[in-house]
Amino acid sequence: MTQVAVVTGGGSGLGREMALALSAAGFQVWVTGRTEDTLKETAALGGLSYAVLDVADGTAVREFFGGLERIDVLVNNAGTGAPAAAVPDVTEADWRRVVDTNLTGSFLCAQAAFELMLRQEPKGGRIINNGSISAHVPRPQGIAYTASKHAVTGLTKGLELEGRAHGITACQIDIGNAATPMTARMSQGVLQPDGSIAVEPTFDPKVVAAFVVQIAQLPTTVAVPTLTIMAATMPYAGRG
């Protein structure tokens, strides 16, 4: 039986690499995202299925997952950030947008996938959440993103606990500076905790995609609660 994988935020960047790698490994892959043009590009590259979906829209999420017959792997990859801003300058709109996408969107997709994994035969599956180095240590002027990714850690642990009896495992991959359009600014220099601006290293996102495939192919009797993958010399511990 061909296994089914869903990758949110699959139109570009890491999501695209993950989706293509899963397809190459034999999974039937759905990619979702908010931009149809980029989803079509991803789908054409790997013979994938796609659906336009805003993960923060609970009705749309439930409708999409309700149309699936089964799901073996969910990769919660959709995410967004906010303009760099000191705490007093963060707008409520930016805060809510980041939390709605990164946290609430991940929960809504995980909830819908979890429900299907409970009903399908054989039941069970794997949920892989895209965390971040920011789930461990913050960047300056990034409080909304940092808070949302710390919360994803709690989400992952809760899913792992409640899925344990049903063959559902949850994993959080914390990624640091994979080379995508979102990290292009690293080559221009980014703000450091000491107030300096420094160029940070990046690494090939295909490395992350390969790990996602390895985790996805594990039997559900094996859990990988957390995995950190990052450019070897990037600022991490204490962001120093």
CA dist 136 → 13, 89, 133, 226 (Å): 22, 23, 6, 12
**Six token digits for residue 208:** 């992350």
CA dihedral 159, 164, 168, 171 (to 10 degrees): 50
Element (H, E) at 51: strand 49-52
Q: In sequence order, which residues have a C-beta less than 8 Å from that of residue 88 and are 6 or more positions away?
A: none
Select from 238, 237, 239, 233 the least CA-distant residue to 200. Answer: 233
Q: Does residue 95 contact residue 144 with C-beta atoms inside 8 Å?
A: yes
| CA dist., res. 227 & res. 211, Å (int) | 9
For 79, phi and psi rounded to 5 degrees?
Answer: -165, 165
Q: In sequence order, which residues have a C-beta less than 8 Å from that of residue 215 and are 6 or more positions away?
A: 126, 128, 171, 173, 224, 227
Q: Is 50 among the catalytic positions?
A: no
Proportion of the chain in helix, strand, coil states, percent, rounded to 5: 45, 20, 35
The residue annotated as part of the active site, out of 30, 64, 65, 145, is 145
Known catalytic residues are 145
